[in-house]
Structure 1
Amino acid sequence: MNKITIIVPIYNVEKYLRTCFDSLLNQTFDKYEILAVSDGSKDGSNEIMKEYSKKYPDKIKCIFKENGGYGSVLELAISKIETPYFQICDPDDYLDSEALKHLYDLAQLSDADITIGAKYFIYEGTEDKDYDYAYNTNYTKLKTNTVYNNGTSEYDDLLFVDPSPHSKLYKREVAKDIKFLYNVSYTDNLLFYLSYLNAKKIIYTDKACAYYLIDRAGNTMTDVRPKAIDGHVKVFNEILDQHDKSKASDMFYYRMFESFKYIVEQSKRIDAPLEEASKTIDNLYTLVERLIPYKDKIKPYYDKYSKSKFIEKIKDKRLLDEKSSKSQFRKLKKSLLSKFEE
């Protein structure tokens, strides 16, 4: 009986898909299946999917659907899988041959709801690779092959983990009720943060299990169009909509604020005419409004972890103060739009 389903969300990636499939078929662990979902691909991806599923009918199942975005693929796939665990492999990435075995063995030994591994960054047109711990080492040091229990201060350290799906094995149970947004990017954040809250145990390993192509054209990490920035805001508002307050630590709200700060940094490079850029920046405030009620929870962790300069810290605290928030945001907006005056 299969134990893991590998979900492969596919949209116009014919250039990379064979490498991805070959890595998944080359696993030393054999109790798994691949669920490849075409999200309305218009290139040759669908033909490659059919070719591989015909050649490996016991391993690869295919779904062909109209385009609805990454979140629509995750929601459909998670609803379809019958295995206790799933992993996501984006089609421009690939797995180490030992990935499934290593992550599954750790999950079984620890009874962890999420098993997190390190990864390699890889780059277009080169064989170079860079090891990545899969968390921000400037703020914490995770212990390898160690179980982190929900409700402990150590569990909070996992909020510094990169929320991308690479090298993560999930129990289906912690993700099955998540409602994903359609036609927006960054929905992997929904998966990670809500599953994190639902989990009782998480285990981390410093073994690199995935290879992440970080500089592909069209990668959401480099997209600064209004649609991408608006999508980022929608996702974090949705996390706050769906999160269970009884499961959220104070640190969780601090990380939501730092996510807002990241979106602000992205907005400094917004690629749009002035009027459109102005509307997108106005939309950022919807996330600030959601976080103001948690300012007393955010402040101690902000004071502990923030690397902002003194003046920036004052501005951030004014943003989270209901009395000064709107006026401070107007100043922030003016600063973000100043490039249009040059």
Structure 2
Amino acid sequence: MNKITVIVPIYNVEQYVRTCFDSLLKQTFKDFIVYAVNDGSPANEQVIIDEYVTKYPDKFVGIEKENGGYGSVLEMAISKLETPYFIVCDPDDYLADDALEHLFNLAELSNADITIGAKYFIYSDGTDSDYDAAYNTTFTRLKSNTVYNKGTNEYDDLFYIDPSPHSKLYKKEVAKNIRFLHKVGYTDNLLFYISLLTADKVIYTDKACAYYLVDRAGNTMTDIRPKALDAHIEVFKTIVDQAETLNPCNMFYYRMFESYKFILYQTPRMSGTKIEYKEKLDHLYELVEKLIPHRDAIKPLYKKYAKGGFLEKYRDMRLLNQSSSKKTFTVIEDKMIQNFKEK
């Protein structure tokens, strides 16, 4: 009986798919099935999918659907799961040969709901790979092969983990009730944060189990379109909304505020006009509004971890104060629009 489903969301990545599929066939762990989901791609991946399904019918299930975006693929694939675990492998990335074996053994040994590994960054020009611990080592140090239990201070450190899908093995139970957005990117953030709030046990390993192509044109790391910025904002608004019924810890809300700040500092990269830029900043403020009620949860952790200067910290606290928030954001917005260079 298969233990793991590997979900491969496929859209306009024809040149990478074979490398991804071949890495799955090399796995030392054999009790897995691949859901190769063609999300209405305009390229020719379906020919490749059909080839692998024909050659390896016990390993590959080909699924064709109308285009609905990354979230729609996750939603559909999770709803079809017949295995206790799943992992998402983007088709422009690939897994280490023993990735599934290592993650599965840790999951079974610890009874963890999520098993998280490190990864390697790889690049389109073929330069050497760079090791990434898969979390922000500036703020915490995770212990390898150690169980983290929900409700502990140590569990809070897991919110510094990179939410990308790489090297993350999930029990299907923690993700089955997530309501995914369609037609937007960044929905891997939704998968990770809501699953982390749902889980009771998580285990981390510093072994790199995945290879992540970070500079492919069109991926979320390089996409600077206004539409991509809107998607990023909408996903984090949805994360906050869906978290409300899950009794989130204070660290969750602090990390959501830091995510707002990350998006804010990324906005000058956007391609577009100043009018479009203002529209996106106004949209971003909708995320701030969802965080204002949680100011008391955010404030002590902000004081402990925030790295900005006095003026930035003063501004951020005013931003989270209902009476001064809108005025404070208007000042921020006006300055950023003034400095924005149309592209």
- The residue number in structure 2 matching 1:164 is 164
For normalisation by structure 2, the TM-score amounts to: 0.98
How much does 1:107 deviate?
Answer: 0.2
3-state DSSP class of the match of 1:338?
helix
Letter in 1 for 2:298: I
Q: Secondary structure at the match of 1:220?
A: coil
> How big is the shift at 1:247?
2.7
Q: CA deviation at 1:253?
A: 0.3
Q: Does 1:31 align with 2:25?
A: no
| Larger CA deviation: 126-135 vs 90-99 | 126-135
Residue segments in structure 1 that go unaligned for 5+ positions in a row: none
Partner of 2:134: 134
**Structure 1 counterpart of 2:255, one-letter code:** R
Q: What CA distance in whole angstroms lies between the structure 1 residues aligned with 2:297 and 2:152? A: 16
Alignment match, 2:338: 338
Letter of the structure 2 residue corresponding to residue 155 of structure 1: Y
Structure 2 residue aligned with 1:300: 300
The separation in 2 between residues aligned to 1:218 and 1:87, in whole angstroms, is 22
Per the alignment, residue 188 of structure 1 pairs with 188
TM-score by length of 1: 0.98
1:88 alignment counterpart: 88
1:24 Cα deviation from its structure 2 partner: 0.5
Q: Is the 8 A contact 1:110 1:203 kept in 2?
A: yes
Q: Secondary structure at the match of 1:15?
A: coil
Residue equivalent to 2:323: 323
Q: How does 1:1-342 map to 2 (within 5 A)?
A: 1-340=1-340
> Offset of 1:224 from its aligned partner?
2.1
- Is residue 251–residue 298 contact of structure 1 (8 Å, CA) maintained in 2? yes
Distance 2:139 2:54 in 1: 47
Identity of aligned residues (%): 63
Name the Cα RMSD after superposition.
1.1
> Secondary structure of the equivalent of 2:179?
coil
Cα separation, partners in 2 of 1:341 and 1:183, compared to 1, 3 Å: closer
Question: In the superposition, relative to structure 1, how do residues 158 and 341 fare at CA in structure 2: closer, same or farther (>3 Å)?
Answer: closer
CA distance in 2, matches of 1:8, 1:330: 42
Describe the shift of the 1:259–1:340 C-alpha distance in structure 2 as closer, same or farther (beyond 3 A).
closer
Verify the 8 A CA contact 2:197 2:246 in the aligned structure 1: no
* Alignment deviations for residues 230-277 of structure 1 (CA, whole Å, 9 cap, x no partner): 111111111111114553111110000000001101112221112211
Q: Secondary structure at the match of 2:204?
A: strand
- The aligned amino acid for 2:260 is F
Unpaired stretches in structure 2, ≥5 consecutive residues: none
Q: Is the 8 A contact 1:198 1:247 kept in 2?
A: no
Whether the 8 Å CA contact 2:268–2:340 is kept in 1: the answer is no
Q: Is the 8 A contact 1:197 1:244 kept in 2?
A: no
Which amino acid letter does the alignment assign opposite residue 203 of structure 2?
A: I
Q: CA–CA distance in 1 between the matches of 2:318 and 2:11?
A: 42
User: Contact 1:147/1:202 (CA < 8 Å) preserved in 2?
Assistant: yes
Q: Structure 2: how far apart are the matches of 1:305 and 1:231?
A: 27
